[in-house]
Chain A
Amino acid sequence: MNTARRTLGPTIAAHGVMILYTLIALFPVFVIVTNSFKSRRAIFRDPLGLPTSETFSLVGYETVLKQGDFFLYFQNSMIVTVVSLALILIFGAMAAFALAEYRFPGNALMGLYLALGIMIPIRIGTVAILEMMVSTGLVNTLTALILVYTAQGLPLAVFILSAFMKGVSDDLKNAGRIDGLSEYKIFFRLVLPLVRPAMATVAVFNMIPIWNDLWFPLILAPAEEVKTLTLGSQVFIGQFVTDWNAVLSALSMAILPVMVLYVVFSRQLIRGITSGAVK
């Protein structure tokens, strides 16, 4: 970008808006993390205050970690999120490639059908899904969650990825065909690396809702050994008393893995964008 030609005023304004937005977006996270290090009384007396030597307390973390299942919940969430993302990306990309690359009767109709899911929330089908899971015996398994999340993520993935794949040069794919690459190799070796930024976008878009979801774990997999982190944290929220220390500590720890995943994907995003720029 040509910074020399841009005037100072708009630059400051733009940065001001972005900083303001960042502050607003980070504020709840900040409150959660700081309060998780405070004693219960300090949380209520001064919710916005930073932990001081008096109010500092790790009691929340102790409660959470002593509650032995926490690591299991953590692991469950991780498995569900990572496997769902992997399935969304691989199947989404493959469907998108077929739609973008091959001419076959009903191509446009198929594209529309696959994209329809973007407009219809999957939760509308909860009852039917639950019935299906019951009859296939998948209730209280991580597989149930993975299947549902994959179905939930695919429409947007197919939609975004097929748009990007249409942009990949035909000549490049044809050069691959002439050099004897199979359609699979063309897909994996030529097309996928070029749509990596789009893949990262899809991954980020899908990751957070899956990680945070409470609905489907509650309905499809409430059993102790398959609870996800979000569901597991609910044990600290009672009907009458809520162990805020524990809730805030659990939430704080739940942020970490998503952040790691996010950093991984956003690195891909940035690398993809810059590699496109130098073409």
Chain B
Amino acid sequence: MTALSLENVNKSFGTVHVLKDIDLTVEEGEFVVFVGPSGCGKSTLLRVIAGLEDATSGTVRIGGDVVNSVPPAKRGIAMVFQSYALYPHLTVKDNMGLGLRQEGADKSVVEAQVAKASAMLDLDSYLTRRPAELSGGQRQRVAIGRAIVRDPKLFLFDEPLSNLDAALRMNTRVEIANLHRTLSASMIYVTHDQIEAMTLADKIVVLRDGRVEQVGSPMELYNNPANRFVASFLGSPAMNFLDRSVPGLAPGRTIGIRPEYLSLSEDGQIAGTVTHVERLGGDTNLLVRTDQDETLTVRLFGQDPTEVGAQVRLGFDPARAFHFNAAQERVTADAA
């Protein structure tokens, strides 16, 4: 069964057309991540799904039912916000239980659900505190707990980790992945962070300017991007795009090579000078300025002795290179 399906969803604010013909399905138990540059409409799409904004046109189905005119509380969803959005005057316990109590659930049911969620998230010792007395990470766990307690058909996360520091972000990421496994619930997750996208997603939806650019599993998108935008968006360091440095390229064509598929070799096709070296321990990133004046990144595994200023030649496996036409669409290497 599909947990969510969107058909031709459009959203305009006045004259600003924010979402354009979005078609999308989320299967039961699937973890779907929306990525895209800032302002592309990720949050707006999430809010349309949640019912916090009405779609200007199109159909939103949750669990098979059309919910276009169903209020947020009755859609069977729960949402976790970037700013936590905990109720400042309620204790952790009441924050988590409020949704169920509003639905008119029995006190014992609410207690049991809150206890279950707080055990899952290690919140037991904070239940009587108010949000102001918690750290950022704890607040975010309470916000997640509040979502779990409602036992929704669909979880919506809007950049839930972006206010946390790096270490905490990693822990919470793992926690969310575990949660997804334990609850086997359908989840939609919005993020800027492509590591979160790659590690958490069953399916990534890449958005640009309110349109879906490509949908697929992380590795599909990584290995087989439909266009230059998707290719450049996923992967860190980002893909290199060259249109002068590679000999024999048809005019108007661009070639894209991921940094890890470039290698130093005596007979490589690309010649250049190393302008910067980043030694990360496990990896070494070289920034190379080619003789044709294009900059590219080379990712070498392990530690490499190359110094700034060195003249290098770079080679790559043509099968690993992507070709793009002038319209930035992906084309096969030999197509004219």
Instruction: Give the B-binding residues of A (Cβ under 8 A).
Output: 169, 171-172, 174-181, 189-190, 193-194, 275, 278-279
Contacts and interface: CB of A to CB of B under 8 A. Distances in A.
- Would you call the interface of chain A mostly helix, strand, loop, or mixed? helix
B81 interface: yes
Contacts of B89: 189, 193
A172 B52 CA distance: 12
Given A171-B85, A193-B89, A178 B77 contact: yes
Contacts of A194: 88
Nearest to A277: B132
Contacts of A189: 87, 89
A181 B71 CA distance: 11
Contacts of A171: 81-85
Contact of B98 (A179, A193, A275): A179
Nearest to B97: A179
Interface string B65-79: 000000111100111
B132 A180 contact: no
A124 B88 CA distance: 44
A5 to B, nearest CB: 26
Given A174-B72, A174-B79, 16 more contacts: A169-B83, A171-B83, A171-B85, A172-B85, A175-B146, A177-B71, A178-B73, A178-B77, A178-B78, A179-B73, A179-B98, A179-B99, A179-B102, A180-B74, A275-B88, A278-B132
3 smallest CB-CB distances across A and B, nearest first, come from A180-B73, A180-B102, A171-B85
Contacts of B146: 175, 179
A1 to B, nearest CB: 20
Given A177-B72, A178-B50, A180-B102, A172 B87 contact: yes
15 contacts: A169-B85, A172-B87, A174-B85, A175-B79, A175-B146, A177-B52, A177-B72, A178-B72, A178-B78, A179-B99, A179-B102, A180-B99, A180-B102, A189-B87, A189-B89
B99 A178 contact: yes
Contacts of A177: 52, 71-73
Contacts of B102: 179-181
Nearest to A178: B72
B73 A174 contact: no
A180 B78 contact: no
A12 B165 CA distance: 42
A178 B73 CA distance: 4
A174 B78 CA distance: 11
Contacts of B334: none
Interface size class of B (residues with CB under 8 A): 20 to 34
A171 B162 CA distance: 15
A174 B258 CA distance: 41
Given A179-B98, A180-B99, A174 B81 contact: yes
B190 to A, nearest CB: 13
A279 B73 contact: no
Nearest to B99: A179
A179 to B, nearest CB: 4
Contacts of A180: 73-74, 99, 102-103
Nearest to A190: B87
A173 B138 CA distance: 21
A132 B271 CA distance: 90
Contacts of A275: 88, 132
Contacts of A176: 87
A78 to B, nearest CB: 30
Contacts of B86: 175
A178 B50 CA distance: 8
A182 B178 CA distance: 33
A275 to B, nearest CB: 8
A267 B300 CA distance: 64
User: Which of A179, A189, A194, A275 has most chain B Cβ within 10 Å?
Assistant: A179
Contact of B52 (A174, A190, A279): A174
Contacts of B99: 178-180
A179 B71 CA distance: 11
A189 B86 CA distance: 13
Interface string B82-126: 111111110000000011001100000000000000000000000
A179 B97 CA distance: 9
User: Which of A172, A174, A181 has most chain B Cβ within 10 Å?
Assistant: A174
Interface in B53-68: none
Contacts of B52: 174, 177-178
Contact of B79 (A178, A190, A193, A279): A178
A96 B25 CA distance: 40
A124 to B, nearest CB: 37
A189 B71 CA distance: 19
Nearest to B158: A171
Contacts of A181: 73, 98, 102
User: Which of A169, A171, A194 has most chain B Cβ within 10 Å?
Assistant: A171
